[in-house]
Amino acid sequence: MKDGTRRISPAWLVLPFLSFFAAAPSREPAKWPLPVEKTSTPAGVGSTAPNFSVSPRGALLSWIEQSGRTAFLKYSESDGIRWSPARTAASGANWFVNWADVPSVARLHNGALVAQWLEKSGSDTYAYDVHLSYSIDDGKTWQPSFVPHHDGTPTEHGFVSLFDGAGGGLGLVWLDGRATAGHGTHDGGEMSLRFAAYDARWKQTADLALDARVCECCPTAMAVTADGPLVAYRDRGPSEVRDIQVTRLENGTWTPPVAVHNDEWRVPACPVNGPALSARGRDVAVAWFMAKDDQPRSFLAFSSDAGRTFGDPVRLDDEASLGRVDVELLRDGSAVGSYVEFAGQRAGFRVRRVERNGTRSAPVTIAGLTGNRTSGIPRMALYRDQLMFAWVDREGGTAQVRTARSRVR
């Protein structure tokens, strides 16, 4: 970070844009028959920070619950019909709990469960480490936690994306602030994007930088294509252009990052709005947010070559967007993009279907949200023929993770 501080976008970078938007397109998109069924949530009252992962066993939802100073990382799996009883993967009194930098639990294809969360490492607000743990007995017991980074600096390490590694191992990427350690107000280091890998015996086999200068606090995303892992993140160029870039693991080497689309969005602070990825074979869909010319919008684009190149972006929102996107590729090659629409001073968790030729369906509203960051990042997952949704409901002033599902037709 150039000034040695973690620069997060102030409120004016989001909400005051909204009076500048062009009207929605005049041609009405075709309606999309997506009946949404609210489901009984496995999360307790006070729950926040939902996150999804999907394996052949089902869709796994994780979230945070707190009691006093102690945070609990809990999870539940759905077979598409019902949620399993909630279980706890980890807990602690020194965790860094944040609306955007959230923990997760994932089931690897070999059946092992992996959890990641954030623990404070120093007195500074953003001094925290990534902690990992795993279970090989279906969550009955969890191994002592360990960190994938070994720099020992009391700086930011977070925004983790987990994925199945080669040979039954684990791969992950995260934002790493080690280069910011010990820098003053005008002599700061940079936030980097790093990758680590573990083999099937949980021996670490890699820890390396993928990009030495990235946006300070935008979530990362990853998907495994037929050609290997693909990672998306928000870059930070020398002139403060913060467009979305991707890098691929090809023949054991990460490729040089390339832009998904040259938005040329220059912004002087982190917008806390990361991309989302979905892959099926060599087909990839990516969703992202940007606010060039004071017009915040959400987009989706397709790739048919495992993320080497992407087609033209398709706008997801109609009037204004707060971003917080997600995306899922469907079996027919189309994609579903989720985003937060903001119109008429109201926010809504919405989805719409986008065909590969750019045709959009009409939007479907999953739930209303608060317009600020306390609503967190809504999530979406595809398991078999069901889309599953999770978001933070703050109706009545108390937070709780809610869930819904819809069969894709």
* Residue closest to 285 by CA, chosen among 218, 341, 337, 339: 337
Contact 229, 249 (CB under 8 A): yes
How many other CB atoms are there within 10 angstroms of residue 63's CB atom? Answer: 29
Q: Position of tokens 């599902």?
A: 405
Q: pLDDT by residue for the chain (409 residues), tens digit each? A: 333 445 555 443 444 444 433 333 435 577 888 999 999 999 999 999 999 999 999 999 999 999 999 999 999 999 988 999 999 999 999 999 999 999 999 999 999 999 999 999 999 999 999 999 999 999 999 999 999 999 999 999 999 999 999 888 999 999 999 999 987 434 568 999 999 999 999 999 999 999 999 999 999 999 999 999 999 999 999 999 999 999 999 999 999 999 999 999 999 999 999 999 999 999 999 999 999 999 999 999 999 999 999 999 999 999 999 999 999 999 999 999 999 999 888 999 999 999 999 999 999 999 999 988 889 999 999 999 999 999 999 988 899 999 999 999 7
Q: What is the pLDDT of residue 22?
A: 39
* Integer Cα distance of 8 and 271 in angstroms: 6
CATH number at residue 15: 2.120.10.10
Pull the structure tokens for residue 378: 């809504």
C-alpha dist (Å) from residue 223 to 7, 19, 20, 43, 206: 28, 35, 34, 26, 19
Domain that holds residue 349: 11-407
- Find the angle CA(159)-CA(283)-CA(260) to the nearest 5 degrees: 55
pTM of the model: 0.93
* Integer Cα distance of 129 and 5 in angstroms: 17
Q: What is the pLDDT of residue 372?
A: 87
Residues 18, 22, 28, 34, Cα dihedral to 10°:
-30
Task: Report yes or no on 363 lying in a domain.
Answer: yes
Q: What is the pLDDT of residue 30?
A: 79
**3-state secondary structure string across the chain:** CCCCCCCECCHHHCHHHHHHCCCCCCCCCECCCCCCEEECCCCCCCCEEEEEEEECCEEEEEEEEEECCEEEEEEEEECCCCECCCEEEEEECCECCCCCCCCEEEECCCCCEEEEEEEECCCCCCCEEEEEEEECCCCCCCCCCECCCCCCCCCEEEEEEEEECHHHCEEEEEEECHHHCCCCCCCCCCCEEEEEEECCCCCEEEEEEEECCECCCCCCEEEEECCEEEEEEEECCCCCECCEEEEEEECCEECCCEECCCCCCECCCECCCCCEEEEECCEEEEEEEECHHHCCEEEEEEECCCCCCCCCCEECCCCCEEEEEEEEECCCCCEEEEEEEEECCEEEEEEEEECCCCCEECCEEEEEECCCHHHCCCEEEEECCEEEEEEEECHHHCCEEEEEEEECC
Number of compact structural domains in the chain: 1
Task: Report yes or no on 227 lying in a domain.
Answer: yes
Q: What is the pLDDT of residue 51?
A: 98
Strand partners, 239: none
* Residue closest to 309 by CA, chosen among 380, 360, 234, 255: 255
Task: Report yes or no on 1 lying in a domain.
Answer: no
Pull the structure tokens for residue 333: 């090659």
